[in-house]
Amino acid sequence: MNTNPEEDFEDEEVEMFEHYRIIIDKGQTLTRIDKFLSEKIANATRNKVQQAIDAGSVLVNGSPTKANYKIKPLDDIRVMLEKPPKETEVYSENIPLDIIYEDPYLLLVNKPPGMVVHPAHGNWSGTLVNGLVYYFENLPEMKGNTGRPGLVHRIDKDTSGLLVIAKTEEAMTHLASQFFHHTIDRTYIALVWGEPNEDEGTITGNVGRSAKNRKVMDVFPEGDQGKHAVTHWKVLKRLRYVTLIQCNLETGRTHQIRAHMKYLGHPLFNDAMYGGDKIRKGTQFSKYKTFVQNCFDLMPRQALHAQSLGFIHPTTKEKLFFEVPLPSDFQSVLDKWESYVNFE
């Protein structure tokens, strides 16, 4: 019987969760699935398993199950559970947070560009999580949640915009299930090099780590490597040498928009990792080169903003939708491009 976590989950919404696949032995006797999983998976209490089942995060032979289901020989069971807190201490830091919504179960944060989401090698302080730990410590009703501030998904350091944070284990389980099943509505705004031939389109191409540079994601259109990824995009404004677009994610792979737009031939403006930090379209005039460099200096990051999130509230079951405007650096660069095009 295989109860090992699946090792290939590197996506933005599942990094904080463990995935298991269990094939039941031929000689297995009929046993309730919640009891079976709580005994077989480390750190999985029966209550935690039941919450995962209620959230649709436990599948038997590809379909959601119920806690009283009795497992049978050769059943194929897939489980997604929140990872237990690491022993490494996360230090509390008084970092200002732009909280746009909060209730007893969750909160929405508008992350500024340049802020790392969670501590990791080279970034043990100054992260969103350090700020969340401080914030939770100063909320009496949040006792017991210190050190595990409910991170359900993430966005890159230099990407700005919305993140939803779970404040209870039940909320985390339900939100994680929505991300896992791709039912979260997510809209990103991006400024890309060049002008797409069409006004809208869909990019379908597996995304996986490059063999040449493990920090970069490549697109594998034949599907022989990487993981299934779908990005829907449409043009919002054409600015001659660059284009403002909207992207809606059907999946949430690491660097998905950045890799997909490069694959389409329109890398994100000033995205150094994917070749957008060089002039990819325009004239050879020194005035134009100076203008572009000024834009790079004004927004020294990729032009990507997580504008909106829509999801089902884990407790009230109400459909919620949140949206935040472009940050000042992005808006300033956009204004400069509009002026350049209009008065060139």
Residue 89 pLDDT > 90: no
Kind plus residue range of the DSSP H or E element containing 297 = helix 286-298
Residue 48 has φ and ψ, to the nearest 5°, of -65, -40
Residue 298 pLDDT > 90: yes
Q: What is the CB neighbour count within 10 angstroms for residue 66?
A: 13
Q: What is the pTM of this model?
A: 0.76
Residue 136 has φ and ψ, to the nearest 5°, of -70, -35
SS3 content of the chain, % helix, strand, coil (to 5): 25, 30, 45
Q: What is the pLDDT of residues 253-265, one digit of tens each?
A: 999 999 999 999 9
Closest CA to 14 of 254, 342, 208: 254
Predicted pLDDT of residue 3 = 46
Query: Which amino acid is located at 14 in the chain?
Result: V
At 23, the pLDDT band (50, 70, 90 cuts) reads very high
Average the pLDDT over each of 16-30, 76-90, 155-169, 185-199 and give the range with the smallest value: 76-90
> Helix 169-180 crosses helix 46-54 at what angle (to 10 degrees)?
40
Tokens of 319: 């459909």
Predicted pLDDT of residue 12 = 57
Residue 134 pLDDT > 80: yes
Residue 142 pLDDT > 60: no
Predicted pLDDT of residue 184 = 93
Query: What is the DSSP annotation of 146-181?
Result: TT---B-----TT-EEEEEEESSHHHHHHHHHHHHT
**CA distances (Å), 158 to each of 265, 291, 304, 329, in order?**
21, 22, 8, 12
Identified catalytic residue from 156, 218, 271, 329: 156
- Answer with the residue of higher pLDDT: 340 or 18: 340
Angle at 226 between CA 216 and CA 148, to 5 degrees: 70
Q: What is the pLDDT of residues 55-64, one digit of tens each?
A: 888 999 999 9
At 320, the pLDDT band (50, 70, 90 cuts) reads very high
Predicted pLDDT of residue 91 = 78
Across the range 282-305, mean pLDDT stands at 96
Residue 123 DSSP code: B
Indicate the SS3 state at residue 333.
Answer: helix
Predicted pLDDT of residue 195 = 96
Residue 21 pLDDT > 50: yes
Residue 309 pLDDT > 50: yes
Across the range 79-103, mean pLDDT stands at 80
Query: Which amino acid is located at 84 in the chain?
Result: P
Across the range 20-49, mean pLDDT stands at 87
Q: What is the CB neighbour count within 10 angstroms for residue 228?
A: 12
Active site residue 156: yes
Q: What is the pLDDT of residues 156-206, one digit of tens each?
A: 999 999 999 988 888 988 998 898 888 999 999 999 999 999 999 999 999
Check: CB of residue 120 under 8 Å from CB of residue 341.
no
Residue 22 pLDDT > 70: yes
Indicate the SS3 state at residue 274.
Answer: helix
The full length of the chain comes to: 344
Check: CB of residue 100 under 8 Å from CB of residue 320.
no
